[in-house]
Amino acid sequence: MKNLIFSLLVTLLVFIFYQDAKTITSDCEECHKKITPGIVKDFNRGKMSKVLTCKSCHGDDHTNKKDFQKAKLPTISTCKTCHPKQANQYLSGKHALGLLAITAFPNFAHKQPKAFIAGQKGCNGCHNLGIVDSNIRETVEYRKYYKYGMDCQNCHTRHAFSVKEAREPESCNSCHTGFDHAQWEMWFHSKHGSAYLTDRKSHRGPTCQDCHMPEGNHTV
């Protein structure tokens, strides 16, 4: 009888713990499955969902749809908590200096058309890399225009944060393209690009990462 009672108690405790754990990992999903289902789907298909929750990166101040401004915007420091080697390499490279090109101009934010802001197509869409000042990140202007500039996520796009995706040449295409810096076009129309794109599986031609990120070094 004692063994039976003990077993029932253990089962009950496990059930309660499971329910609590389930609540912790899914409380954000209850809303975001309806509002931004793509975010939830991406996060759950990534490896980070196995060890982290939304609160790991966004904090726990945001609890309902009215206080969404309280959600923390992840920075390079956020990623550095788990990926110190890659973060330090990134911070010592040129990508971390992307913001300097914008701050060299008198008007930091630039008054660009709303279509540019919404589509992240203006200069600042890429050159927000390197913003680490928390005071700048919390301004209304930053949250409106730069909210997608999380540094690491420019290549490991949110919310799957895939390593495989970041290793593809297309991950460089979002910034390194256009008449003023046509690196993507030059590679795409070169022998290197043709060889790689016609036979990706055998990796016949070199990608951007093969030359600029040898052995996965993030000092690029």
- Model confidence at 55: pLDDT above 80: yes
pLDDT tens string 129-185: 655 566 665 665 555 545 444 578 889 988 999 999 999 999 999 889 888 889 999
- Model confidence at 77: pLDDT above 60: yes
CA distances from 46 to 23, 41, 217, 219 (A): 20, 9, 22, 24
151: its two tokens:
């540094």
Tokens 């990134």 belong to 90
Distance in Å from the first CA to the final CA of the chain: 67
% of the chain with per-residue pLDDT over 90: 43
3-state SS, residue 100: helix
> Which residues lie closer than 8 Å to 104 by C-beta, 6 or more apart?
none
User: Each residue of 140-166: b (16+ CB within 10 Å) or e?
Assistant: eebeebbeebbbbbbbbbbbbbbeeeb
pLDDT tens string 96-127: 887 777 667 656 555 555 555 545 566 777 77
Q: Look at residue 88 in the predicted model and tell me its pLDDT.
A: 93
